[in-house]
Amino acid sequence: MNLSISNYSRIYIIALSLIALFTIISQVFVQFHLQGQDSSSRIINISGRQRMLSQKITKEALLLTKAPDNKTFIQQQQILKNDLTLWHRSHQGLKLGDAELQLPKPQLDKINQQYFTEIDPLKKEIEEAAQNLLKAGFGGSLSNKEKWLDKILACEKPFLKLMNQITFRFEAIAKQQVGSFQRIEIILMVVTLCLLLLEGLYIFRPTFKKIRENIILLQENAEEIDAQNHMLNGVLAKMQKQNKNITSSINYAKTIQDASLSLEPSVQSCIDEMAFILFKPLQVVSGDFYYVADTEKETIFAAVDCQGHGIPGAFLSMIGVSILNDVVKAKGITKPGEILDCLHQTVYKTLRQGATSNRDSMDMALITVNKSSNEVLFAGAKNPLVYITDNTSYEIKGDRRSIGGKLVSEQTRFKTHSIVIDKPTTFYIFSDGYIDQFGGTNKRKFLRHRLKNVLLTQHANPLKQQKTELDQTLQNWMEEGNESQIDDILLMGIKQHPV
């Protein structure tokens, strides 16, 4: 075979290009498979966990039925309620997918579709019986409780059996996918090897001694590329591990933040009748936080917007919750202006803002509801109070400074405003996330005047309905402009009747 140097170079480049193409395809395929395996592992783990949760729900239902006193009953009631929520969500995620649980939308085969068809009635019966137990209360009929418990026990065994079959089916599908991946990988490897063999037979052999040095150089370059690929794979694996660790840490931080924001039992039991909380963090953890404290004479509500969002905002929010608890519960300060003054001084000292360049701050609106009178007190750091009575909307602006950031004169105090009500009145406090959200046909901010109009149309509705309508209104606004959420969102509504 006679080949000129130019023809040899052309053929050599084509051959190398094909090898590089197959190498890239192999790498892409491997990464795609790894992602698929991660999803499969998550699905198998969640399906396995469902079995554990169903057993846990049965045990908790038994403990709830046998609760010796009302306090134990309420504690066990909350545990069962939380596990039922997780159990239901995981079940739906296995069927339909759930991004927050890292569950992709599954491609259920006919076998698993049949299993889910058979297990859904059992799940529904367990849920209905458990919900009846939750609603019964400590003083409910023991015979009814035992009837619902027996129903849960009767459904548990067939549910566990079907859950095992679903898990085994997911495992079998995952093994089939691994087998398919191995076969395709072998085919790619054989094709690549064949290309290398053809290159050796029809390009390297007919070359002259004049290009041997170039061939050696190219071989060295190929080895260097392999070494770099190996190094990059190592870096990728390290980055994936670091990302997993970071994600785990953030999720744990969310658990801690959720715990700090959990409401007291006395507040939680009547929150739907007295107030609603629309809380939509931008990321896993939030820079906005709500605060509700129940004292002997007053109930205190606060909507707080910390500077930043995500991890930085969450750190500041944890500090804010801790300081508010100290001011309200330990020191017994309930007057809004005084609470904001103490909070400002403590944040300034805690973050050492006088000695460092730290200028982190909080904007907030806080109201104190007197239980024995018709007086409601308000103080705000930049954020306002909107309240509606007799179908008329009113607004009280907060002071034009934030909590923290810089120290001001001790004579400059946050002002406390007093509102005396003689008719049913609904109070609204919020961060700037709702009104600053872009959307609509013109891709503009929602703004405060739109929010006040929505509140005016919704204030007479039940609190739970108000929360749903406000959430849907903002969702529609974003969808109209094809916009995503840009900040943490917090809006609280509190309904008061004259004493």
Tokens linked to 85: 């929520």
Q: Identify whether residues 172 and 286 lie together within a single domain.
A: no
Which three-class secondary structure state does DSSP give residue 305?
strand
pLDDT band at 30 (very low <50, low <70, confident <90, very high): low
What's the mean pLDDT when you consider all of the chain? 81
**CA angle in degrees (0–180, nearest 5) for 305-311-317:** 35
Cα-to-chain-centroid distance, residue 492: 19
pLDDT in tens, 328-341: 989 999 999 999 99
Half-sphere exposure of 32 (CA within 13 A, CB side): 10
Contacts of 207 (CB under 8 A, 6+ apart): 3, 8, 215
Domain boundary among 149, 170, 185: 185
List the alpha helices (DSSP H) in 66-109. Answer: 70-96
Q: Identify whether residues 280 and 427 lie together within a single domain.
A: yes
Q: How many helices (H) and strands (E) does the chain have?
A: 11, 13
Q: Identify whether residues 176 and 289 lie together within a single domain.
A: no
How far, in Å, CA of 341 to CA of 337, rounded?
Answer: 6
Residue 1 has pLDDT above 50, yes or no: no
The answer as to whether 225 is a domain residue is no
The answer as to whether 464 is a domain residue is yes
pLDDT band at 9 (very low <50, low <70, confident <90, very high): low
What is the domain-level CATH number for residue 130? 1.20.120.1730
- Give residue for tokens 């079907």: 162
Say how many domains are in the chain. Answer: 2
How far, in Å, CA of 293 to CA of 324, rounded?
Answer: 9
The pLDDT assigned to 324 comes to: 92
Q: What is the DSSP letter of 209?
A: G
The answer as to whether 1 is a domain residue is no
Q: Identify whether residues 125 and 273 lie together within a single domain.
A: no
How far, in Å, CA of 339 to CA of 354, rounded?
Answer: 21
pLDDT above 70 covers a percentage of the chain that reads: 82
Q: Identify whether residues 475 and 346 lie together within a single domain.
A: yes
The pLDDT assigned to 130 comes to: 79
The pLDDT assigned to 425 comes to: 95
Q: Which residues pair with 386 in a beta bridge?
A: 395, 428
Among the listed residues 412, 409, 446, 416, the one whose alpha carbon sits nearest the alpha carbon of residue 431: 446
The answer as to whether 195 is a domain residue is no
Residue 371 burial (10 A CB sphere; 0-12, 13-18, 19+): exposed
The pLDDT assigned to 104 comes to: 67
How far, in Å, CA of 499 to CA of 481, rounded?
Answer: 45
What is the domain-level CATH number for residue 300? 3.60.40.10
Domain boundary among 185, 215, 238: 185
The answer as to whether 35 is a domain residue is yes
Q: What is the DSSP letter of 399?
A: B
Among the listed residues 189, 227, 181, 368, the one whose alpha carbon sits nearest the alpha carbon of residue 292: 368
Q: What average pLDDT does the segment 414-426 reach?
A: 94
The pLDDT assigned to 364 comes to: 95
Cα-to-chain-centroid distance, residue 113: 28
The answer as to whether 206 is a domain residue is no
Range of the domain at 305: 263-496
Q: Identify whether residues 446 and 297 lie together within a single domain.
A: yes
CB atoms within 10 A of CB 103: 22
Q: Identify whether residues 269 and 406 lie together within a single domain.
A: yes
The answer as to whether 354 is a domain residue is yes
**DSSP secondary structure of 412-425:** --PPPEEEE-SS-E
Residue 11 has pLDDT above 80, yes or no: no
CB neighbour burial string for 125-146, b if at least 16 within 10 angstroms, e if fewer: bbbebbebbbebeeeeeeeebe
pLDDT band at 292 (very low <50, low <70, confident <90, very high): very high
How far, in Å, CA of 366 to CA of 84, rounded?
Answer: 34
Q: Which residues pair with 293 in a beta bridge?
A: 300
Tokens linked to 346: 């403590």
Q: Identify whether residues 35 and 175 lie together within a single domain.
A: yes
The answer as to whether 139 is a domain residue is yes
Residue 38 has pLDDT above 70, yes or no: no
The Cα-based distances of 253 to 169, 302, 326, 332, 479 in angstroms read 34, 22, 22, 29, 30
Q: Identify whether residues 410 and 296 lie together within a single domain.
A: yes
Domain boundary among 141, 158, 185: 185
Q: Identify whether residues 313 and 410 lie together within a single domain.
A: yes
The pLDDT assigned to 67 comes to: 78
